Amino acid sequence: MMMQGLRLLLPIALFAGLVGFWEWAVVRWQVPPFILPSPGAILTVFETDGASLLGSAWITLGTTLAAFVLAVISGMALAVLFASSRLAEAALSPYAVTLQVTPVVAIAPLIIVWVGLDNAWLAVLILAWIVAFFPVLASATAGLKAVDPNLRDLFRLYRAGFRQTFLRLMIPSSLPYLLAGIKTAGGLALVGAVVAEFAAASGNTDGLAWRILEAGNRLQIAKMFAALLLLALMGVVLYAILSFVEWLLLHRWHGDRRRA
């Protein structure tokens, strides 16, 4: 109990201390606001520009979630294809890897040209999806490969169909791997969305990245900090939700991945 209270209290106390020091230091050394604005000044931004920032955050969040869902579905589907056909895996996995190791910023201009500048949101979605897709594919593939071969034999012995084997054996066996990959994908979808917005670098995307660029050009440093704050918050909440889902699904048998 003590420990748990401390684990919660300590970061909060540290945060309060840091913010307090920050506020004090900015006044004490008269740091100009275009270098480092005070926490109070950053909060004020939410009063003046709150609506536009939240609107942008909403757009970035939408792209992130859409890319995330697409990545999870397509990553799992491809993993199942790989698991059921060695040929498909041999043929396709080099492309998946190539797509993964090519820096997304470098692909961005090409994708934007292809979908057209008017559809910049689509380019951002595609780029975020590319970034988030690979961890799902990799973890689902690893998970499906880790299915106990004896259990697989048992399902064959009892003449289980593909559906039964998939739902009752492959999905639950690979769940710990899959959820780890999905958690990574959630964070990467956000990273991908913001990087893609930067790369698109046009008012057409209107996400938080654009707000940051815009504010940077006008030396509105406080606004940049406010946008950063929103991004960090989104990332943390996303991670917390996915961790909670992982805990919900696994806590009864997680922590003991030994074969039973």
Partner 1 sequence: MSGDLRLDRLAKTFPNGTAALEELSADIAAGAFVSLLGPSGCGKSTVLRLIAGLEEPTRGRVDWPQTRGSLGFIFQEPTLMAWASAAKNAALPLELAGAPRSEAHARACAALAKVGLEGFANALPRELSGGMRMRVSIARALVAEPEVLLMDEPFAALDEFTRSKLNDDLLRLWAERRFTGIFVTHSVFEAVYLSQRILILSGRPGRLIADIENPAPYPRASGYRTSPEFNATAREILKALEDRAA
Residues forming the site for partner 1 (CB under 8 A): 148, 150-151, 153-160, 164, 168-169, 172-173, 175, 252-253, 256-260
Q: Which is nearer to partner 1, 146 or 229 (CB)?
A: 146
User: CA-CA distance, 211 to 53, in Å (whole number)?
Assistant: 7
Phi then psi for 20, rounded to 5 degrees? -60, -45
- Least distance between partner 1 and beta carbon 54 (Å): 41
User: CA-CA distance, 227 to 49, in Å (whole number)?
Assistant: 10
Q: Which is nearer to partner 1, 7 or 251 (CB)?
A: 251
Residue 172 tokens read as: 């639950």
- Least distance between partner 1 and beta carbon 226 (Å): 44
Are the beta carbons of 128 and 197 closer than 8 angstroms?
no
- Least distance between partner 1 and beta carbon 75 (Å): 21
Q: Which is nearer to partner 1, 44 or 165 (CB)?
A: 165
Query: CA angle, 201 as apex, 121 and 185 as ends, to 5°?
Result: 55
- Least distance between partner 1 and beta carbon 158 (Å): 4
Cα-based distances in Å from 69 to 50, 132, 189, 197, 249: 28, 9, 9, 19, 18
- Least distance between partner 1 and beta carbon 146 (Å): 11
Q: Which is nearer to partner 1, 7 or 259 (CB)?
A: 259
User: CA-CA distance, 133 to 108, in Å (whole number)?
Assistant: 16
Phi then psi for 30, rounded to 5 degrees? 50, 55
Q: Which is nearer to partner 1, 114 or 253 (CB)?
A: 253
Are the beta carbons of 194 and 141 closer than 8 angstroms?
no
- Least distance between partner 1 and beta carbon 251 (Å): 11
Q: Which is nearer to partner 1, 145 or 257 (CB)?
A: 257
Residue 67 tokens read as: 């890319």
- Least distance between partner 1 and beta carbon 11 (Å): 32
Q: Which is nearer to partner 1, 35 or 260 (CB)?
A: 260
Cα-based distances in Å from 59 to 49, 121, 130, 140, 216: 16, 9, 18, 29, 20
